[in-house]
Amino acid sequence: MMGRGVAAMAPALVLLLLLSGWSAMGAPRLRERWEEGEGEWQPEEEAKGCGGGGGTGKGLFLLDKVEKLVESEGGSVHVVRGVPGSGVPELPWQHGHGGWSAGCGACREGLMHIGFITMEPKTLFVPQYIDSNIVLFVQRGDVKVGWIHKGGLVEKQLKMGDVLQIDAGTTFYMVNTGKGQRLHIICSIDASDGAGFVPYQSFYLGGGGRQTSVLAGFEPKILVTALNTTYDELERILPVKPRGPFVSYTTESGGKEHGQGDKRDVGENGRGSEPWRPVGKGGDEEDGSGQSTWTWSWRKLMGRFIGGASSSAAAPAQPNKKSDKTVRAPEPYNLFDHEPSFRNTYGWSISVDKHDYEPLDRSDIGVYLVNLTAGSMMAPHVNPRAAEYGVVLGGEGIIQVVFPNGSLAMSAQVRAGDVFRIPRYFPFVQVASRGGPFVFFGFTTSALRNKPQFLVGPTSVLRVILGPELAAGLGVPLKELREVVEAQKVAVIEPSLPDKEKEKEREPFVMNQVSRE
């Protein structure tokens, strides 16, 4: 009777049995693991695709469409498209099962792309704005980010684990401030406003890639008039030859710009920005002090362009009034400086939404980080509010996804660097391999509290709905069903099955399920 009852149960319980063969081990601190270099995304692996393992729906949930948008000596930008890979075969259950198909809205809802930014030491990612909201996550290194907020310049020093949101159309720049350390950033890219041909479009103010500054597109007489400058100055700061999106960055002593005796406007951190200059000599000229006139001219022009400096026609400032140019902006949110949303012996998870970090509300994006100890498992669950995108940062594990008709959609082994996507409402599970902890970070397509619904365990919907109706639906006696549903005492993150005899006892049943793939 007991064997028949288990065999007739929902696929959610099958997953629990199928994924219970790993043992639990302790895990070192996550920050230490990253400092040792684990979890670095490897773009050279893009041709091999993501992950491995079985499952007919692999192309729907593992993302392997990688594009190199920018690549130079100073850094690179790669984007993993948030769309299913090509070549996904037609699935046999798509017909005659309620009309559901893999091309439905559930697979495309909340589309985003995942970006990977790498910067060498002493490198600047030139000032630009893009046509998408982005949420930055500092995976490794230190970076200074400057952006326009409420009409003023704000600069923040970000460290490993920091999260920062930048609105679409907001001018920003980034400087790798780590001493001899390569910078790694993972970011979400809102795909809702994109044209579809490229993941996002950059509009460089400092030049970049194959294009120069967008200002160079205007006729010179327009710019000279609009900026109240001269043709000579304009020619110096808008060279015909592009300088690239990543340029070398050097710190000048004294904190003063060439030809200027006053201090530069500062952000909330109270520090001025050091001058920067592009790679190569180009048309730069140097005065006797060795400082570049290109740097001064560019800042002078940009100050006039965004209204940060007065033209000669402007009314003179009142000498006795001191204006406060400090701009207040939300601080970045550091995942390591806050207590996990959930923790037990077998792992922990952090979820960040608009209630924790208000800027996420503008992009409608959530952030999460999960650390599973060796062999442990995030119990089978569904996200009723958002699609989920994830990047494996360290270790290896198994991800399984279930189709709406109750068949196994994918069972894939993933490792550091793989990118996955779980559509809204689709049941799924993550399991750490027994070789070590399994760490993954990602984004959700909603800034609201996600509130995942767990299908098994003491806090699951299966436990709440347990009764004669569920027993009748599964075709088993209520007493036998209760024994199985109430057997698990650990919620959310569960251990592997320690009893080897029980593991062998269930093995024939598990193998029958695997043979269905």
In order, the DSSP letters of 455-509 are SSSTTSHHHHT-SHHHHHHHTS-HHHHHHHHTS----SEE-----HHHHHHHHHH
CA–CA distance, 195 with 197 (Å, rounded to integer): 6
Order the strands of the 333-334 sheet from edge to edge: 66-71, 75-80, 112-119, 183-190, 134-140, 162-166, 333-334
Handedness of CA 84, 85, 86, 92 (dihedral sign): negative
Of the chain, the end-to-end C-alpha distance in Å amounts to 26
Residues 357, 338 contacting (CB under 8 angstroms):
no
Query: Which residue, 443, 388, 387, 392, is CA-closest to 413?
Result: 392
Q: Is the dihedral of CA 481, 483, 486, 490 positive or negative?
A: negative
Helix (H) or strand (E) holding 364: none
Start and end residues for every CATH 2.60.120.10 domain found in the chain: 62-87+109-208+243-247, 336-495
Three-class DSSP category at 222: helix
Q: Which two tokens stand for residue 217?
A: 């597109």
92 with 105: CB under 8 angstroms?
A: no
**Domain 336-495 indexed as CATH 3.40.50.1820:** no
Domain range 62-87+109-208+243-247, CATH architecture: Sandwich (2.60)
pLDDT in tens, the chain (517 residues): 444 443 344 444 333 333 333 333 333 344 444 445 444 544 444 434 343 444 456 778 999 889 998 888 899 999 998 876 544 444 444 444 444 444 444 444 568 999 999 999 999 999 999 999 999 999 999 999 999 998 899 999 999 999 999 999 999 999 999 888 999 999 999 876 655 567 788 888 876 556 677 888 888 899 889 888 888 888 877 766 667 788 888 764 323 333 333 333 333 333 333 333 333 333 333 343 333 333 444 455 555 554 444 333 334 444 444 445 555 788 999 999 999 999 999 999 999 999 999 999 999 999 999 999 999 999 999 999 999 999 999 999 999 999 999 999 999 999 999 999 999 999 999 999 999 999 999 999 999 988 899 999 999 999 999 999 999 999 999 999 999 999 999 999 999 866 454 455 544 443 333 333 3
3-class DSSP assignment, residue 106? helix
Q: How many CA atoms lie within 13 A of 22 on its CB side?
A: 27
Q: Please report, as a single letter, which amino acid is at residue 211.
A: Q
For the chain, how long is the longest CA-to-CA vector?
93
Distance CA 501, CA 517 (A): 26
